[in-house]
Amino acid sequence: MKLYADKIVFSSNNVKEKSSLVIESKVDSPQLQDIIFEKAIIYPALINTHDHLVGNWYPPAITEDKFVNSHIWVEAMKNHPTYLARNEYWKNDGSFILTKQKEITLCWLGVYKNIFSGVVAVQDHAPKQKPAYYQTFPVNVVEDFTQCHSLPLDNWWGGKSAEEEFEDAMGKMPFILHVGEGVDPLTAHEFTELKERGLLAKNTVMIHGICLSEKEIEEIAEVGATICWCPTSNENLIGKHLNIEYCLKQGVNVTLATDSTLSGGINLFAEMRFSKERFPRVTSVDIFKMVTCNAAQALMLPNQYGSLEKSTSELLILDEVIDNPFDNLIYAQTANIKLLLHDNKPILGDIDYFPLFSVDKQNYTTFKSGNREKFVIGDFRKHTDYINSFLTYHKKFPYLPE
């Protein structure tokens, strides 16, 4: 199948106008013609390097008051109206076995939050689950990783010690943990402790890094490790941010991610917009890299992710609303997604393109976004109906269509 579009963003420094690309789809319709996408731009599909899929209740469990570190928030949140409202459906007993019915239903919401913002690969920061968990979802909930919650709280939610988890990764998969999510001496010491305990390597992915000093950022650049930036979450909880400009200047592998909606923004589209507006000196190209190639590098994903130069099985095709393709991505909304492909399979898109694929239509549902009829894989309403059956009211999640 050959796709034509006004622009194709193969990578941050390879954008071709009036171009085409070939996808090796196994689900082409036999009568398939080449597709010409009018007023459209083709991108590599997006990657969200930090989410807690089970934690996407809404609105965020935040207040006007900021916290000096997130560990205080983790406790304070338990009395917040949002957390208490979620308790009516599911009480978090700290066991984090996400394959149970109530838990996995919440995780499905998190997966849809990602799908509706063009994401085909997401890192679910939680203790490692059974393989069946990662195989349940229609997009890549990345299975190969090891993790620790954070050094001060250790693996309170399950998993081995930080050292054992780091060892298990053998440098071949990402080792992920929250680092420096605050402004007090406790969080300021975390990076030193990370080094002292031998946990800093190229495959270390440090989430947040708000209090990292310039010298520490230089050390991270030197090692080639990743910092995952979640500006909406940081603004909401701490009111302070990673020194992003210094990270970019030093060439740190920075990614941009949502975190869960208990602290973060609505989805990755919203996160990109927020980062651009709050940090105007961070360029749209930088932001594009953070959600594509930098993210693929951080999560050690195979070649098909993060750029279209080696493979075209992970595609995001958007309306061309803004001439600059990178600005166009940052200001996109769900309604602008013409087509999202994962592993060459249609995940989401305008209904007009649906007949082009010989997939089982039973596995999809339709919805309206703006004035356009769209299809999406699976049935997100089934999951919200299940949740609503435990509540005395109809719960709305702003990252899902009506």
Contact residues: Zn ion, CB under 5 A? 259
8 Å CB contact between 107 and 98: yes
Nearer to Zn ion by C-beta: 259 or 271?
Answer: 259
Nearer to Zn ion, 231 or 346 (CB): 231
Choice between 98 and 377, CB closer to Zn ion: 98
Least distance from C-beta 200 to Zn ion, angstroms? Answer: 19
* φ/ψ (deg, to 5) at 283: -80, 160
Nearer CB in complex with Zn ion: 259/286: 259
One-character DSSP codes across 131-195: HHHHHSSSSEE----EEEEETTTBTTTSS--HHHHHHHHTTTS-EEEEE--BSSHHHHTHHHHHH
- Please identify, using beta-carbon distances, which residue of 259 and 350 lies nearer to Zn ion: 259
C-alpha span between 339 and 27 (Å, rounded): 14
Nearest approach, Cβ of residue 339 and Zn ion (Å)? 30
Residue 148 corresponds to which amino acid? C
Min dist. Cβ of residue 117 to Zn ion (A): 17
Contact 109, 384 (CB under 8 A): yes
Nearer to Zn ion, 207 or 244 (CB): 207
Q: Which is nearer to Zn ion, 56 or 294 (CB)?
A: 56
Residue of this chain nearest to Zn ion (CB atom)? 259
182: left (phi over 0), alpha (psi -120 to 50) or beta: left
What is the Cα–Cα distance from 43 to 19, expressed in whole angstroms? 12
Least distance between Zn ion and beta carbon 55 (Å): 8
Residue 22, exposed/middle/buried by CB under 10 A (0-12, 13-18, 19+)? Answer: exposed
Is cis: bond before 59, omega within 30 of 0? yes
d(CA 17, CA 15): 7
Shortest gap between Cβ of 121 and Zn ion (angstroms)? 17
Q: How far is the CB of 50 from Zn ion (least distance, A)?
A: 6
Q: How far is the CB of 123 from Zn ion (least distance, A)?
A: 10
